[in-house]
Amino acid sequence: MVNSEELIAIVNEHDKIIGTAKRGEVHEKGLLHREAYVFLIPSSYGKVLLQRRADDGKWTASAGGHFSPNEDYLQAAQREFQEELGIDVPVKFFKELCYERFKTGWKNEINDRFAKVFLLNRDIPISEFKPDPNEVAEVRYFNKHDIYNLVKEKTWLTRAARETLKRYLMHRLR
């Protein structure tokens, strides 16, 4: 479950740490911060793994989220993947896909963040995942047709996941 007391780094417009704040405060005030996301695409490139979030039921990246001030984007991506999906993958397999600023709103919150998105090309059967039920309701591989429908529908994906899939990942799927 979301920990609103978690301490995360606040950054300036140049993505330099200028302080820390509790996660709840960061979203209430719309403070600029950092997040890392991972999209798992097996070596066959035919599918992408998405997770359905436990809090709002939306599909999003394979893993991802906020991270502590003492982590960098890559360390956070690896840790989030392990915590959320129960599989430890060495950092050497994570490849940076993009770096963007996303700003979205949800209920009474503003999520203004810099995000690095990582691609992970590994063949991991769905049966090997051990999702954290407090964060992940379900994990599933989606083919290109399924992704196209999710992106088109708009209501089933988080906005950041939808934009990342459209811009950077759909063309990689067969």
Amino acid identity for residue 121 in this structure: N
Q: What is the pLDDT of residue 105?
A: 76
DSSP 8-state code for residue 70: T
Report all structural domains of the chain as residue ranges with CATH numbers, in order of start: 7-47+61-135 (3.90.79.10)
Give the single-character DSSP code of 157.
B
pTM score: 0.92
Alpha-carbon 109 to chain mean position: 18
Determine the pLDDT at residue 3. 64
- Segment-wise mean pLDDT, segments of 10 residues, the chain, 174 residues: 78 96 92 96 89 95 93 96 97 96 80 95 95 96 93 89 92 82
The alpha carbon dihedral of 15, 20, 26, 30 has a sign of: negative
A 10 A CB-CB count for 133 gives 10
CA angle 123, 93, 165 (to 5 degrees): 70
CA dist list (Å): 135 to 93, 98, 128, 146, 152: 24, 24, 17, 23, 25
pLDDT of residue 61: 97
How does strand 136-143 pair with strand 63-66?
A: unpaired
